[in-house]
Amino acid sequence: MPSCMVHIPPSVHRSDVDCACCDLEERAFCAGLAQTSSALRAIRYDTRMDSQATIFREGDAASNIFTLVSGAVKLSKLMVDGRRQIVGFLFPGDFFGFGHNELYGYTAETLSPTTLCRFPLVSLDTVVAGSRELERRLLRRMIAELSFAQEQMLLLGRMNAREKVSHFLLMLSRRATHRGEPASPVAVPMSRLDIADYLGLTIETVSRTLTGLKKEGLIAINGNSRVDLLDYRALGLVAGGDTLS
């Protein structure tokens, strides 16, 4: 890894680092294109952020889209009285920031120190117009996102606490393997409160359910941010026979 290790100053800066250094490989929506599309590379900004930082807020003018390069991000929506729903957790390779009616529909915050690839939307529009392949990929990603959102609706509307938590752990594991990490000691970068707001539960119920699964020997808990999945088969059963038709 030669020029990839070059010093990257903190915070935001115009990137002159070649996309070849991006270790996301085929997982990013822009994978492979940045090499071919100098236009895309030209509008790219690297952004480094601390843990627990706000990337943008619900209702802000949607002016950028982002690819998550390293770290983790949560997307959330708020009600006036403070009730919150987390609508997504993002990991390296995921993208976010498409707004409806020019506004972001959710708040985006980092869960850990994070590296982002930022694309100004106006510039991106013109770039997309120049790349059939890029637009095609964006469409495909949106379809996958929507499909995932519908799965989540099933979880929120029809699963009980045990099913929700099991499903959540299996999802973390599946996504970890998808980006080349081990399936079992799975990293849980989000707090219990975040998990609760993602699953439509309270923090107490999440905690109780996790201890329940632990006592049954399905999982082991290491220091609150790491969970071993000891019995996938049983967890899958608890998760309640995924949407079978």
Partner DNA sequence: CGCAACCTTGAGCGTAATCAACAAGCGTGG
Partner DNA sequence: CCACGCTTGTTGATTACGCTCAAGGTTGCG
CB nearer DNA, residue 175 or residue 214:
214
Q: Is 200 in the site for DNA (CB under 7 A)?
A: yes
Both tokens assigned to 49: 């952020």
**Binding-site partner at residue 16 among a second copy, DNA, none, CB < 5 to 8 Å by type:** none
Order the strands of the 12-14 sheet from edge to edge. Answer: 12-14, 45-49, 114-120, 64-70, 95-96
**Binding-site partner at residue 6 among a second copy, DNA, none, CB < 5 to 8 Å by type:** none
Among 105, 120, 207, 236, binds DNA (CB under 7 A): 207
Q: Is 84 in the site for DNA (CB under 7 A)?
A: no
Q: In the bound complex, what is the minimum distance in angstroms from residue 162's beta carbon to DNA? A: 6
Number of residues that bind DNA (CB under 7 A): 21
**CA 107 – CA 124 distance, rounded (Å):** 21
By DSSP bridging, strand 64-70 and strand 114-120 are antiparallel
Q: In the bound complex, what is the minimum distance in angstroms from residue 228's beta carbon to a second copy? A: 27
Q: Is 5 in the site for a second copy (CB under 8 A)?
A: no
**CA 27 – CA 31 distance, rounded (Å):** 7
Among 135, 174, 216, 226, binds a second copy (CB under 8 A): 135
CB nearer a second copy, residue 22 or residue 75:
75
Q: Is 106 in the site for a second copy (CB under 8 A)?
A: yes
Q: In the bound complex, what is the minimum distance in angstroms from residue 7's beta carbon to a second copy? A: 37
3-state SS, residue 119: strand
**CA 115 – CA 93 distance, rounded (Å):** 11
**CA 92 – CA 73 distance, rounded (Å):** 9
Q: Is 233 in the site for a second copy (CB under 8 A)?
A: no
Look at the chain and count its residues.
245
What's the DSSP call for residue 185?
S
Residue with tokens 């119920």: 205
Q: Where in 126-165 is the site for DNA (CB under 7 A)?
A: 160-162
Closest to 195 in 3D by CA, of 165, 167, 175, 223: 165
Q: Where in 67-86 is the site for a second copy (CB under 8 A)?
A: 75, 77-81, 83-85
Q: Is 132 in the site for a second copy (CB under 8 A)?
A: yes
Order the strands of the 73-78 sheet from edge to edge. Answer: 54-56, 107-110, 73-78, 84-90
94 to each of 138, 149, 152, 198, how far by Cα in Å? 11, 14, 17, 17
Which residues bind to DNA, rule: CB under 7 A? 160-162, 191-193, 200-208, 210-211, 221, 223-225
Where on the chain is the footprint of a second copy (CB under 8 A)? 57-59, 75, 77-81, 83-85, 87-88, 98-100, 105-107, 129, 132, 135-136, 138-139, 142-147, 149-154, 156-158, 197, 199-200, 240-245
